[in-house]
A and B are shown apart, each in its own frame.
Chain A
Amino acid sequence: MSAPMRVRYDGRPRLLAGWAATGRPAVLAEHAQVNGPLPTGAAPHLVELVGAAGLRGRGGAWFPTGRKLAAVAEHGARAGTAYVVVNGVESEPAAGKDKLLLRAVPHLVLDGAELAALAVGAKEVTVAVHRGTGLAAAVGAAIAERAAHRWGSGLPVTVVEPPRWYVSSESTAVANFVGGGPGKPRNDSAYRRGVKGKPTLVSNAETLAHVALIARHGPDWFREAGTPEAPGTALFTVGGAVHRRAVYELPVGATGNDVLRMAGGPTEQLQAVLLGGYGGSWVGVDALTRPFTPEGLKPMGASPGAGVVVALPAGACGLAETVRVASWMASQNARQCGPCFNGLPAIADDLARVTWGRDRAALQRLRHRLGVVDGRGACAHPDGVVRLVASALAVFAADVARHLAGNGCAGLWRQPVLVVPQPPDVSEGWR
C-alpha cells in the first residue's frame, strides 16, 4: 500500500469563505452552513491543537499562538482568573484586514475568542474595535444574534472602542483600556498582568478566526496551506500603486509578486515596497521574489508584520513619504517615555531637514539618534519608527545623496502614497 498522499491546499479562501459566498456579512445561519457548529468539545485540548497547527499570531509579531494560550492558561490558573480580549482595533492606517473580518465574518472571530476563553479559563470576552467605524454596533448585533440562537460558550461577550491613537492598539494598551484605564501601553506583558492586573490573552482578530477553524478542522488541515514554519493562510492589505487596493487572503509563503498579482499588479514601475505597517520596513523591489513570511523576509531586515504591503511607484519620493509617516507616528506616542516623546519628533525633524533642508549635519544627528532611541521605550512604538526611518535611509540612499546635494526630485510634488489620518485631536483622550 502506498504512503497516504499529502493533501494540498486548494487555494480557496478559508477565513473569507463565508463572505465570499454572498459578498455580504455572514449572518449566523450562513456562518453555521459554511463552517459548521461551534466545536466546544475541542476547548479542553485547544491549546494542544493550536500548538500542533503551528499558528502564529497575525497582529504583527508572528508569535506562536499555542505558546501564548498555554502561558495565559498557566498564569490564569495560578491567579485564579483570566481574561480574553479580541484585538480588532487595528490603528495601523495601512491595514484593513481586521476591520474586514469583523464586518464580514464576525462569528468566526467570536467563535475563536469564546473557544480560547474556555481553554484558558477566562470568565468573559471583550472585543476591542476601531472607534467610529460602526463596527461596535455591527459586532454588538452579532453578539445579540448568538445569544438569541443560544450559540456560543455562555460567557459574556462585550464590545469596547479604545481611543484612536496608534499606540492604543498595542496589546498592553488594549488590556489597560478594557480594565478601565487609559489606552496606553504598560510595562508588563498582558499574559502576566493584563486586564485589572490579571493574566490576559490579547489576540488579534485574524488569529482568533484561524483558531475557530483549527478547532473544527484540526492541525493537519491547517498545515495543508502555508510553510512548515508559518502554516496557514494570511490576510494581506495591499495598497499604493496597484490596480485593486484591497485585503486579500493568500497561503503564507506566497511571494511579494504573488501578493501584488492578487491586487491586479502594479499600475506603474515600482521603486520600493513598505512591509508590515507604518512601523515596518522599506524594502527594494528585489524583495518581491521572496516569500512574504518571517523567515523569507528576515534576511532583508523586514517582516510581513500585520500583512501590510504598500507598493511605492518610481515617480514618488520615498523620503517625503517617510517624513510624513514618521511625523505622524511621532505625534502618536503615549507621552510616557522620554526617549520616545522627545526622540521621535527629533528624528522626524532631522529627516525633514535631510529631505528638504540640504542639512548634512541633520543626517549625522539622525543616525546617532536612531541608535539612542531604539529599544528605550516601554513598548515597541519607538522601535517601529526607528525601523521605518533606518530602512528609508538604506533603500532611498541615492535619494538622500541627491536631496543633500540640492537636486530634489519630481516626486516631492506628487499625491501622497502613504496617507495619514487626521491625528486624533487632544479631545480624543485616552479613555
Chain B
Amino acid sequence: MSEKFAVNMIECDGHGLCAELVPELIRLDEWGYPILAPAPVPPQLAKHAKKAVALCPKLALSLTPDRR
C-alpha cells in the first residue's frame, strides 16, 4: 500500500533531519520548516522514509496511507 508523509506542525521545531534524509520528497522553507511533496513515497525511498519518521527529534513526522 502506498504511503505519504504528514507532519504535525505543532510538534515540529524545524530540526530539518527529514529534509536531509529524504531530500527527494522534503525540502525546507526559509525558516527551516518542512515542505512535503504531495506525491506518495516511491518504493525505492521507503526505507529512507521510515528512517526519517523514526529519527525526527519531535516525532512530528509520520507516514499515512495514500488514499487515492
Contact = CB atoms under 8 A, between A and B. Distances in A.
Contact of A187 (B8, B30, B32, B35): B8
A339 B10 contact: no
Nearest to B12: A338
B10 A336 contact: yes
Interface in A325-342: 336-339, 342
Contacts, number: 38
Interface in B31-63: 31-33, 35
Nearest to A376: B9
A287 to B, nearest CB: 32
Interface string A374-411: 00111000000000000000000000000000000000
Main secondary structure of the interface of B (DSSP, over half): loop
B8 A339 contact: no
Contact of B10 (A342, A343, A372, A378): A378
A186 interface: yes
Interface string B1-15: 000000011101110
B35 A338 contact: no
A378 B60 CA distance: 12
A379 to B, nearest CB: 9
Contact of A376 (B13, B30, B32, B35): B35
Contact of A342 (B8, B13, B31, B35): B31
A338 B10 contact: no
A377 B9 contact: yes
Interface of A: 186-187, 336-339, 342-343, 372, 376-378
Interface of B: 8-10, 12-14, 29-33, 35
28 contacts: A186-B10, A187-B10, A336-B9, A336-B10, A337-B9, A337-B10, A337-B12, A338-B9, A338-B12, A338-B29, A338-B31, A338-B32, A339-B29, A339-B31, A339-B33, A342-B30, A343-B29, A343-B31, A372-B29, A372-B35, A376-B9, A376-B29, A376-B33, A376-B35, A377-B9, A378-B8, A378-B9, A378-B10
